Chain A
Amino acid sequence: QVQLQESGPGRVKPWETLSLTCSVSGDSLRSDVYYWSWIRLSPGKGLEWIGYMSYTRGTNNNFNPALKSRVAISLDTARNQFSLRLNSVTAADTAVYYCARDNFGSLDVWGRGTSVTVSS
């Protein structure tokens, strides 16, 4: 059974960098089938897809243009984890952040989510 689990600080100060990690069990990031995605849920904007990265598939990464200038996603295949970095955060980045497996334009397995508040 594939499981994803997010981890990271629950609070980040304005203009600092948010860093989250997603640990994957039951599947390998080296899969040539899937992308690995980040999504967030905020009161103001609802669900918002942040971006994805793939180890082997073509077009190895893609990001939401609204966030592209501030986002980085990386894979650690040795630990079977992937990470999100979002810099220069503001209150608008306060949200529940989810990681998910992307299977051909669909997110078939999700983590439980981790709540992040941007506040000084």
Chain B
Amino acid sequence: DAVMTQFPLSLPVTLGQPASISCRSSQSLVHSDGNTYLNWFQLRPGQSPRRLIYKISRRDYGVPDRFSGSGSGTTFTLRISRVEAEDVGIYYCMQGRHWPYTFGQGTKLEI
């Protein structure tokens, strides 16, 4: 299995300040079709998991532009340019290149 390693696992932040979460895969996530299948999800209490980013950097419809994704190959980053109170939750990276799909351990973002 492709092992996804996130850090940090806990991320205390200050409102209005930037935040960054890293994710590393044990295998390249580049597909022969040229795409890299790396996703970021947000999980807030009582809500469905929400996909924020797919294919490294493509933001889902309705996701604020303060969220951005970057990286390549095996190393990826989710950035929040200015943290807002509604961003509190747990963030997961997930690879969809290899079966079985696998997730990072999750990063708990707290104010």
Contacts and interface: CB of A to CB of B under 8 A. Distances in A.
B37 interface: yes
Contacts of B60: 108
B102 A49 contact: yes
A46 B93 CA distance: 12
A47 B92 contact: yes
Interface in B46-76: 46-51, 54-55, 60
A77 to B, nearest CB: 23
Contacts, number: 61
A62 interface: yes
Give the interface SS of chain B, mostly helix, strand, loop or mixed: loop
B77 interface: no
Nearest to B43: A41
B96 A47 contact: no
Given A105-B37, A107-B39, A47 B51 contact: no
B106 A47 contact: yes
Interface residues of B, number: 28
A24 B96 CA distance: 22
A120 B107 CA distance: 33
B100 A106 contact: no
Contact of B97 (A47, A105, A107): A105
Nearest to B31: A105
Contact of A108 (B51, B92, B100): B51
B94 interface: yes
Interface of A: 41, 46-49, 62-66, 98, 100, 102, 104-108, 110-113
Closest 4 pairs between A and B when the two form their complex, measured CB to CB: A105-B96, A105-B37, A47-B103, A49-B101
Given A62-B100, A100-B49, A105-B39, 14 more contacts: A49-B103, A63-B100, A64-B100, A98-B48, A104-B96, A105-B31, A105-B95, A106-B96, A107-B39, A107-B51, A107-B96, A110-B49, A112-B46, A113-B48
20 contacts: A46-B105, A49-B100, A49-B102, A64-B100, A66-B100, A98-B48, A102-B96, A104-B35, A105-B96, A105-B101, A106-B94, A107-B39, A107-B49, A107-B51, A107-B96, A107-B101, A108-B51, A110-B48, A110-B50, A111-B48
